[in-house]
Amino acid sequence: RYRSDIRNIAIIAHVDHGKTTLVDAVLKQTGTFRENQKVDERIMDSNPQERERGITIFAKNASFFYKDTKVNIVDTPGHADFGGEVERILKMVNGAVLLVDALEGPMPQTKFVLRKALELHLKILVVINKIDRPNCNPMKVLDEVLDLFIHLGAHEDQLDFPYVFASAKSGFAINELGDEPKDITPLLDMILAHMPPPEADVDAPFQMLVNTIDYSEYLGKIAIGRIFKGSIKKGDPFTCLSAKGKLLNGRVAKLFIFEKLGKVEISEASAGDIIALTGLEDISIGDTLTHPEHQEVLPSIEITEPTISMFFSVNNSPFAGKEGKFVTSRNIRDRLYKELLSNVALRVEDTESADTFKVSGRGELHLSVLIETLRREGYELGVSRPEVIIRRDEEGRACEPIESVTIDVPDTFVGIVIEKMGKRKAEMKNMTQMEGGLVRLDFEIPTRGLLGFNTEFITDTKGEGILTHIFKCYEPFRGEINSRQNGVLVSAENGDSVAYAISSLDDRGVFFVEPGTAVYEGMIVGESNREFDMNVNVCKTKKLTNMRASGSDEALRLTPPRKLTLEQALEFIEDDELVEVTPKSIRLRKKTLD
């Protein structure tokens, strides 16, 4: 049985291909706004950081009515750091609208989300967007999309996908390129015709998978997902199960569905509906909610593992407390653990120091968005530069994360890009000449090679290059950890195969640390939580000075150094590591990986 009055769909696209604009156009044209509501404001990107950074971070829900059918749209995050979110979102829907820019063609995120959608056997509707752009080639891009379907191993029946051409910005869609542009209706008709209604056995016992958790001060934890079977009413008892054997009983306190752009409280919902409910604090993503007498667990949801860690710590500087409201370790710890409730790809660990927490996430952007959020809320903290997370495989080898990188640049910058990527241990996989003098370069690179690279890349390509990356896999470390040419100081963590090169210390006692090729600035806190700052001055290389001057990421402010005397610093260093000590420097033997 099906709920023919409902469609649950996701919109998937590479960042900037026009998702938000398209949803805005659809909502506007289906009368989802009140008369006096300003519609030139972008609707889906409601988080201030999302607007400033021009990216979608959190998936949000919206809905509209068209020809007596309610269409629930779930938005998916458009940045690779939030890739883990995409799969969870896709499990709520039956169909996906794949949006592709008519000039740029399929990009890494297009590939990634489409692969997930195909694996989940979703019906795909392709929208070739931005057909108003000069020099675009919609038919060629459509062919490329078909090639991508084939490349990703789509089934025979998935290859025959429906498509439309659109200009979200001008608010129209057309079925064939010669058609007269009118409005977005051709797309809406395609959605009703091709996106399957949810299967819905309304009479069966209640069952739902928790795809998302939201949190509000007032309501507490909010579980969001699609009801697979049965129905539920406010006040009903339910059981919460996990694949790991969790079994808890709760009662529905509040029940919501998504209407237009917000949640609306209702008293009853049934199979096919995407709902939000409250009533149990100990709910997690991936849990199944069932009727208390029919406890059947649904397959859980895999959450992408973090690849990058940073240390957040209490600001110990004499200026602490001048800017922020929340400055104690207790404040920071509580806030970080609260963040875990809804930020699923995040990990937080206590360290041996009560003032320092290890925070791990999916990438530099993921963590810098969090840091900025905390700052805006009035938390004052020091953060270290990010480090990649090292894992051991079954054979005990140290493995590091690897990313797939796609770079589009005008051909004059190809040389410098290849050179810089090579220095960062990237392996070039492909090089393609594109329209308009652009060249597309595909690389694989250890994640450490990308840390801090963005600013350099923008400068090198005069702002004309576009770099996107996506986590690929963990692989055994290649070669040794790099060291600097002159006056190198290298130290290794006890019991860990990660080596750090202390390359430079400036007069404030701030030093630079380098795991692999990436340059870091901050405090060294290893797995063993040895923590040391030094107020000695060693080599300053030109490159490091440049890095500092550029202040590459405002969000990554320094931990104020705790000064140590030379004698104190020496206590952290093993005898066999030492080469030379002068009043101004400590020289250590170069250490490599085991």
Query: Which residue ranges are tagged as binding site for GTP?
Result: 16-21, 129-132
Closest to ligand GDP by CB, 99 or 538: 99
Give the separation between CA 265 and CA 536, rounded to whole angstroms.
62
Determine if 291 is a binding residue for ligand GDP (CB under 6 A). no
Scanning 152-160, 161-169, 389-397, 533-541 for contacts with ligand GDP by CB under 6 A, the matching segment is 161-169
Distances 491 to 506, 566, 577 between C-alpha atoms, Å: 18, 15, 7
Determine if 184 is a binding residue for ligand GDP (CB under 6 A). no
Q: How far is the CB of 111 from ligand GDP (least distance, A)?
A: 15
Determine if 290 is a binding residue for ligand GDP (CB under 6 A). no
Q: Which of 3, 7, 19, 362 binds ligand GDP (CB under 6 A)?
A: 19
Scanning 9-17, 112-120, 429-437, 530-538 for contacts with ligand GDP by CB under 6 A, the matching segment is 9-17
Give the separation between CA 365 and CA 306, rounded to whole angstroms.
12
Give yes or no for a contact between 578 and 569, defined as CB atoms under 8 angstroms apart: no
Determine if 53 is a binding residue for ligand GDP (CB under 6 A). no
DSSP 578: E
Give yes or no for a contact between 248 and 297, defined as CB atoms under 8 angstroms apart: no
Q: How many residues of this chain interact with ligand GDP, rule: CB under 6 A?
A: 17
Scanning 12-20, 455-463, 474-482, 579-587 for contacts with ligand GDP by CB under 6 A, the matching segment is 12-20
Measured between alpha carbons, how far apart are the two ends of the chain, in Å? 60
Tokens 């129905």 belong to residue: 231
For the beta carbon of residue 575, count every other beta carbon within 10 angstroms.
Answer: 6
Q: Cβ neighbours of residue 24 under 8 Å, at least 6 residues apart?
A: 39, 42, 43, 44, 168
Closest to ligand GDP by CB, 15 or 407: 15
Q: Which of 6, 12, 13, 445 binds ligand GDP (CB under 6 A)?
A: 13
Determine if 21 is a binding residue for ligand GDP (CB under 6 A). yes
Give the separation between CA 41 and CA 45, rounded to whole angstroms.
9
Closest to ligand GDP by CB, 134 or 479: 134
Closest to ligand GDP by CB, 22 or 310: 22
Q: How far is the CB of 17 from ligand GDP (least distance, A)?
A: 5
Q: Which of residues 107-146 bind ligand GDP (CB under 6 A)?
A: 129-130, 132-133
Closest to ligand GDP by CB, 42 or 508: 42
Q: How far is the CB of 112 from ligand GDP (least distance, A)?
A: 14
Determine if 15 is a binding residue for ligand GDP (CB under 6 A). yes
Closest of 456, 447, 466, 346 to residue 409, by C-alpha:
466
Scanning 17-25, 217-225, 255-263, 497-505 for contacts with ligand GDP by CB under 6 A, the matching segment is 17-25
CA angle, 358 then 360 then 362, to 5°: 165
Q: Which of 8, 20, 278, 313 binds ligand GDP (CB under 6 A)?
A: 20
Q: Which of 74, 127, 141, 168 binds ligand GDP (CB under 6 A)?
A: 168
Closest of 417, 408, 342, 459 to residue 16, by C-alpha:
408
Determine if 169 is a binding residue for ligand GDP (CB under 6 A). yes
Q: How far is the CB of 55 from ligand GDP (least distance, A)?
A: 7
Q: How far is the CB of 203 from ligand GDP (least distance, A)?
A: 39
CA angle, 563 then 589 then 402, to 5°: 85
What letters, b where the CB count within 10 A reaches 16 and e where it falls short, cover 545-568?
eebbeeebeebbbbbbbeebeeee
Give yes or no for a contact between 388 and 474, defined as CB atoms under 8 angstroms apart: no
Q: How far is the CB of 306 from ligand GDP (least distance, A)?
A: 24
Q: How far is the CB of 149 from ligand GDP (least distance, A)?
A: 20
Site string for ligand GDP, 522-561 (x = CB under 6 A): ----------------------------------------
Closest of 476, 472, 473 to residue 392, by C-alpha:
476
What phi and psi, each to the nearest 5 degrees, are found at residue 400?
Answer: -125, 155
Closest of 87, 84, 98, 81 to residue 18, by C-alpha:
98
Give yes or no for a contact between 103 and 139, defined as CB atoms under 8 angstroms apart: no
Closest to ligand GDP by CB, 20 or 242: 20
Scanning 164-172, 289-297, 372-380, 535-543 for contacts with ligand GDP by CB under 6 A, the matching segment is 164-172
Scanning 13-21, 265-273, 441-449, 450-458 for contacts with ligand GDP by CB under 6 A, the matching segment is 13-21
Scanning 15-23, 266-274, 346-354, 577-585 for contacts with ligand GDP by CB under 6 A, the matching segment is 15-23
Q: How far is the CB of 131 from ligand GDP (least distance, A)?
A: 7
Q: How far is the CB of 152 from ligand GDP (least distance, A)?
A: 20
Closest to ligand GDP by CB, 38 or 542: 38
Scanning 28-36, 162-170, 243-251, 424-432 for contacts with ligand GDP by CB under 6 A, the matching segment is 162-170
Give the separation between CA 337 and CA 349, rounded to whole angstroms.
9
* 3-state DSSP assignment of residue 26: helix
Site string for ligand GDP, 74-103 (x = CB under 6 A): ----x-------------------------
Q: How far is the CB of 241 from ligand GDP (least distance, A)?
A: 36
Distances 506 to 317, 378, 571 between C-alpha atoms, Å: 17, 29, 21
Q: Which of residues 431-490 bind ligand GDP (CB under 6 A)?
A: none
Give yes or no for a contact between 191 and 90, defined as CB atoms under 8 angstroms apart: no
Q: Cβ neighbours of residue 357 under 8 Å, at least 6 residues apart?
A: 311, 312, 313, 332, 333, 336, 348, 349, 350, 351
Give the separation between CA 412 and CA 378, rounded to whole angstroms.
45
For the beta carbon of residue 443, count every other beta carbon within 10 angstroms.
Answer: 25
In the complex, the residues that contact ligand GDP under the rule CB under 6 A are 13, 15-21, 56, 78, 129-130, 132-133, 167-169
